[in-house]
Amino acid sequence: MLNTKPKISVCIPVYNGEKTLPRNLSSLISQNYNNFEIIISNNKSSDNTLQVCKLFKKKDSRIKFYNQKKKLPVFDNFKFLIKKSKGNYVMWLASHHKISKNFLLNNSKNLDKNSDFVASMGLDYFKGDSFNQKNKQKFSFEHNVYKNIRIFFKYCWKTHGLFYSLIRKDVLINASKSLKSYLAADWMFMINLIAKGKVCRTKDTYIVLGKEGNSSKKNLSVYVDKKYYSILPYFYFNKNFYKFINKSNKLNFFQKYILSFLSLCLNIRYLISIIRK
């Protein structure tokens, strides 16, 4: 008998994605790799997202979709998809993003060949930006925990590709526990990820980021308590990061002190960027 279990699960959380979901799914069904499943969680959309799901399911039997009867918090929808996934490697893909034709094949090969890598990521750039923007992404997370986090803080506003990387399922389940409703919770997830092992970066695969997502809208008030907004917009991230590093046995006291300081500086960096605008 043929093994019907997919090696890779691509998980797509979507809300009102009728305009962007077609390009997303088109990039998936045209992959030069076949052993994967596509799981969609339609988060009680009010547009024609459901019809798009049905249309593409007729084109490709690897597509499965779930209709949420009650709208879930954003990250609960992400976690719902993990529970439904069957692959050993899992990736999230926002409905307004798309990936290169070789993304699944090349990144899965990296994980097959390197047992010490917990994830494999491609280059990333925003839709409408110059394709050459991808060549500016020289950083990677193939170092020890301390250096990986230092690199992350330096480039934290350019790490979308890490969030949407191909990840070993057991690692993803553990790291996703940090995803909660506060500003930069996705950063905390990515820090958990790079603390668990190395992340490879392929130079020949990429993800094109749509600009329709919440992270592009800069609406901090959705996440941040008003009493912290003007001074410490990343208050909850800072709080959870401090807890994280204090529990880590891979960091010494000096390293924890430096990382705590860098975490706090993120607030200053953000506020300066607002002033400059």
Q: What is the pLDDT of residues 75-107, one digit of tens each?
A: 999 999 999 999 999 999 999 999 999 999 999
Q: What is the rounded CA–CA span in Å between residue 184 and residue 240?
A: 10
Q: What is the pLDDT of residue 134?
A: 53
Q: What is the pLDDT of residue 261?
A: 97
Tell me what the pLDDT averaged over the chain comes to: 90
Q: What is the pLDDT of residue 225?
A: 56
* Dihedral (CA of 210, 214, 215, 219) sign: positive
Tokens of 111: 């994980």
Q: What is the pLDDT of residue 272?
A: 82
Domain boundaries, the chain: 1-96
Strand order in the sheet with 198-209: 63-67, 36-42, 8-14, 89-92, 166-168, 117-126, 198-209, 98-99
Q: What is the pLDDT of residue 220?
A: 47
| pLDDT grade for 251, boundaries at 50, 70 and 90 | very high
1-96 folds as Spore Coat Polysaccharide Biosynthesis Protein SpsA; Chain A (3.90.550)
Residues 144-161 have a mean pLDDT of: 95
Residue 265 has pLDDT above 60, yes or no: yes
Stronger pLDDT, 108 or 221, i.e. the higher one: 108
pTM for the model stands at: 0.91
Residue 13 has pLDDT above 70, yes or no: yes
Q: What is the pLDDT of residue 269?
A: 86
Residue 224 has pLDDT above 60, yes or no: no
Residues 139-152 have a mean pLDDT of: 95
| pLDDT grade for 36, boundaries at 50, 70 and 90 | very high
Q: What is the rounded CA–CA span in Å between residue 53 and residue 22?
A: 9
SS3 100: coil
| pLDDT grade for 185, boundaries at 50, 70 and 90 | very high
CA angle 126, 118, 92 (to 5 degrees): 40
Residues in the chain: 277
SS3 198: strand
DSSP string, 15-66: SS-TTTHHHHHHHHHT-S--SEEEEEEE-S-SSSHHHHHHHHHHH-TTEEEE
Secondary structure letter of residue 128 according to DSSP: T
Residue 219 has pLDDT above 60, yes or no: no
- Whole-number percent of the chain with pLDDT over 90: 78
Q: What is the pLDDT of residue 230?
A: 66
SS3 194: helix
